[in-house]
Amino acid sequence: MANLHEAAGKETSDRRPNRRRGHIAYALTAVLCLVGLVPLASVAFKLIHINREALTTAQQENQLLLASSTAQEVGIYISGLKSRVRNVSLNLSHLQPGTQRFPVSRGRTVLSEAESGGVLYLRFTDLRGNVIGSRPESSFPQGLESLFTAGMGEVAGLLEASDDPAGRVWLSEPYLLDVDGPAPAAMILLAAPVVAEGKFRGVVSALVDFQEFWETIMASKRTGQTLFILDGSGTPFVSSNLRDVMPGNNMSDSELVQHFMLGARRLRATTPFEREADGVVEEYLGSYEISAQGWGVFVQARMEQVYLPVRTMIESTVTWVLWALGLAIVTALIFARKVVAGPINTLAAVSRAFAKGDFNARAVVKANNEIGELADTFNFMADEIESQISRLKLAAEENNELFLSTIRVMANAIDAKDPYTRGHSVRVNKYSVIIARYMGLEKKEIDAIHVASVLHDVGKIGIHDAILNKPGALTPEEYDVMKTHTTRGAEIMAPIRKLKNIIDGLRSHHERWNGSGYPDGLKGEDIPLMGRIIAVADTFDAMTTNRPYQRSLSFQQAVDRINDIKASAFDDRVVESFNRAYQAGEFGTKATEHGPDVSAVAS
């Protein structure tokens, strides 16, 4: 009987491990796939779907943004040319007052000095048809006389149709000129009347190489997409890809151009279309924007190029999901017989809790085998991750508090030094942020200007009170000391690494466009943009605020004054944004000139 029991027990012990091993192996494999990889795969493919839509939308928006930014650059360039032609017209009108004979040599000098920045040739034609050019006519492209004649006619039309013809500038449609090269060069003509003492004296015309400007902006974009511009008749006159779009060619068979021409010339649009080339029909995505001149700025690219990031993302996601699935199955089959269901379930539950953000979750497994070691390793990893997250949070809080404390300390120091400074800094901060917004700067740049404009006069901490609060005009020696507040401010901020990006604003807000400013005598584009913006805001507040040695101007008087001196003192682009903001009522009135507090401006 005892032998029978022993045999039965032995038979049972021989059978149970085999049943358990088979059950645990397949069950654990199924559990790992269902609990771990199936959710992973589901989330992955869900993310593919979401990200595909997001990337597709982002690509379309990027293409439309490229067209829009190019149209804006073209508009700014043409506006600058018109301003130059108006200035030449005004200078010429001053040379022929009343009935005096026009001084030819002085007129040619005025025209020659305006020849730059793509302007190939300028001429003045008086009422008798006499022509004065910026250089001999033999040195500029031939075959353009009809274009100059058309400009004369258009200017004559301006005189009849406008109450203020002296301020109007006519812009021609682009003219394609055959030159040595792969494609014709695009030229444009600008013409304006010369009016002296209320009488029409003649026409000043400027021939501009638009191709040079186009090649310059294309060099900065570095995009694989094709950009081109259509004139008012729907003919391309410049292109970034001559194999795709050739200037002067008929584009009427393009669905994108048809969409533009037949769609009442909507301001902007993005649309897919098909195009046949060498007997092959390819899918494209195209966008366009209308420039201020009525020209269509187009961007187009093949679908395979536009959606390459989408395909790459899908292929990468599928590959990694398949690799993860295969690795999980192999791992489960190899180690399944060495583990038990309890520790696995415990680890799975803790893993899910940890993945959901419960960083205090820990696996309590007492097994003295591989799964126990895995549990201990998991717990160690969880401890390290939790500790690292805590340190990162603490460091971020400390850095943020240090930054805010620095700003508060600086502001308080300025307040304590000069009661006037706080009101001035807040207003300059308000004006600077508004101008930066109207210039279309990115949020990161606006945030830096916000901080710099608040602290732009922090260097006055180091200026003696007798100079800082002197009721009358400063002596030259005192003024030299006062000017050091720019460098003092930069030196004060220099040790604070987080404020490194605002140093330019503190140091250069008293630089002037013509190089007459301080402390470094910088000129033109060498002056940091932050300093150029704060300079306009600082000057505007100084003009509109009562000082011990001067009475304040009205807002309009200050705006007029800033525009009067902008050629020598300020960046035209900054002043133009300042003008638009003022005209939009952003600066309020004298009754509200102190503006909101700093936090309101920052938001």
Domain segments of the chain as ranges? 87-214, 418-602
pLDDT confidence of residue 418: 62
Sign of the Cα torsion 330, 331, 334, 339 reads: negative
User: Which residues lie closer than 8 Å to 553 by C-beta, 6 or more apart?
Assistant: 543, 544, 561
Q: What is the pLDDT of residue 467?
A: 82
Q: Which of 455, 424, 421 is nearest to 530 (CA)?
A: 455
CA 274 to CA 576: how far, in whole Å? 41
Residues 6+ apart with CB under 8 A from 544: 552, 553, 554, 555, 558, 590, 593
Q: Which CATH class is domain 87-214?
A: alpha beta
Give the bridge partners for 133, in sequence order.
123
Q: Please give the CATH superfamily to which domain 418-602 belongs.
A: Hypothetical protein af1432 (1.10.3210.10)
Q: Measuring CA to CA, which residue among 74, 117, 110 is closest to residue 207?
A: 117
The pLDDT, as a whole number, for residue 128 is 80
Question: What's the rounded Cα separation, in Å, for the pair 486 and 464?
Answer: 15
pLDDT at 228: 92
* Distance, CA of 142 to CA of 145 (rounded, Å): 8
Q: What pLDDT is recorded for position 602?
A: 33
Assigned token pair, 103? 């001084």
Residue range 12-42, pLDDT digits in tens:
444 433 434 444 556 656 666 666 556 656 6
Measured CA to CA, the distance from residue 492 to residue 483 in angstroms comes to 15
- pTM attached to this predicted model: 0.46
**pLDDT at residue number 589:** 67
Helix (H) or strand (E) holding 133: strand 131-133
Q: What is the DSSP letter of 190?
A: E
Burial readout 321-351 (b: 16 or more C-beta within 10 A, e: otherwise):
beeebeebeeebeeebeebeeebbebbeebb
Which residue, among 506, 578, 583, has the nearest Cα to 543 in the 3D structure? Answer: 578
pLDDT beneath 50: ranges in the chain: 1-23, 591-603
Amino acid 359: pLDDT: 66
pLDDT reported for residue 284:
85
- Only one residue has tokens 């040790």, namely 495
